[in-house]
Chain A
């Protein structure tokens, strides 16, 4: 069965870049699933950050698009998130997840997240 594990610094300074990696085991990220990131500020709801398909196309939440970069390293079966110019508002638990969806013709229809990592708390503070 697929397992996902987030890793990265738990503390980031304001204006710096937040970098996280999701290591996937039990399933190849090059296969027909898609992968994504979701975050949850303390005591608040879930927010979709972005998702990537198996062709390398990546789609971001419009509200974060100017600051977010996602990438994948298929040789390590990992995918990553970078969020630059962070502020206290970016303090959250960050989850990586496997996402079901259909992509074609330059468009993706995202269906649901069927497997999640345990999440990692990232605090933005000086």
Chain B
């Protein structure tokens, strides 16, 4: 069971769109539609923003969207706002009763 692969950093200016990738294998992302994304501000607990690839919990702005193609999942943040600056983590069912996280991506709003 290896961690999912995310870019360590991403950035964009206010109002722009940014996409963060999350690459796994056929045993996790590629095999199931159980990909979720979490936003974490410094010193805070992670917050669920996307589940089951592309669903948003109540209260999460529609600026956040998710998708998946093959073994890679993606999180897109549209209309970047300063409060979107945070760490973002992907997560997937890893097969055989396990879960696996990505290494995290630090999103900077320029």
Contact = CB atoms under 8 A, between A and B. Distances in A.
Interface of A: 36, 38, 44-48, 51, 59, 61-63, 95, 100, 107-114, 116-119
Contacts of B99: 36, 48, 51, 110
Nearest to A61: B98
Contacts, number: 70
A84 to B, nearest CB: 21
B89 A45 contact: yes
A47 B89 CA distance: 11
Contacts of B48: 112-114
Interface residues of B, number: 26
Contacts of A112: 34, 36, 48, 51-52, 91
Given A112-B36, A112-B91, A113-B46, A45 B102 contact: yes
Contacts of B41: none
Contacts of A36: 99
